[in-house]
Amino acid sequence: MPKVSEKYLENRKNEIAKAAINVFAKKGYSNASMKDIIKEANVSRGGLYAHFENIDAVFIAALKYDDALQVNRLSISDPKVSLLLQLNAWIDKAVLSVQNKKVNLVRAKSEFFLSHDIEEVPYLRERHDQLSKNIQRLVKIGIEKGEFKKQIDVNSFAELLISMIDGVMLHQHYQYTSNPNLSAVLNHMHKAIENILI
């Protein structure tokens, strides 16, 4: 039997995780099964279980894959553009991603996060801490550059912003309101953030 390289195995695992995103976006976490993943990833049962022992392991891999794409969005892309505008653009992309039903993990994330303890799944805290650090870093740079107020509690601001984004995304996904005006919600969010930072 020929030996398979580590790179090949890692690529195959990522392909399965990417395919699993489609399943979790469609069915949520609670209704997805290993059989669904096998079908979507076009992999044998043995091929799937060679990489993942259960649906939780697949979800964590899909979450990590999705997070790797999201992390790249919160960066200072243009030093000539104000940090507030860049932060607002990142918020808009994050919130508006809920409209892409094919790869939207909002429902699956909420189901998974509510059904698992942070102690059981350390990655949940890691991903939150990483996002918080990225937001804090951007705000600290804004303070150093004189764009933002000096007396901002960057940790509390990061936690508030994450909660606001999560709340708006959940609200939009589950469509609790009969007349969702996402533009108006985002405008109010931008004004609140501006009042805190400037």
CA distance 163 to 193: 13
- Tens-digit pLDDT profile for residues 94-143: 888 877 777 789 889 999 999 998 888 999 999 999 999 999 999 999 99
SS3 category, 25:
helix
User: For the residues 66-91, what does the mean pLDDT come to?
Assistant: 82
> Which of these ranges, 17-31, 69-83, 90-104, has the smallest mean pLDDT?
69-83
- Tens-digit pLDDT profile for residues 166-192: 988 888 777 666 566 888 889 999 999
pLDDT score at 94: 86
- Tens-digit pLDDT profile for residues 59-77: 999 999 888 876 556 777 7
Domains of the chain are: 1-66 (1.10.10.60), 73-198 (1.10.357.10)
17 exposure class (CB count in 10 Å sphere: 0-12, 13-18, 19+):
buried
pLDDT(198) > 80 = yes
CA distance 130 to 6: 27
What pTM value is reported for the model? 0.84
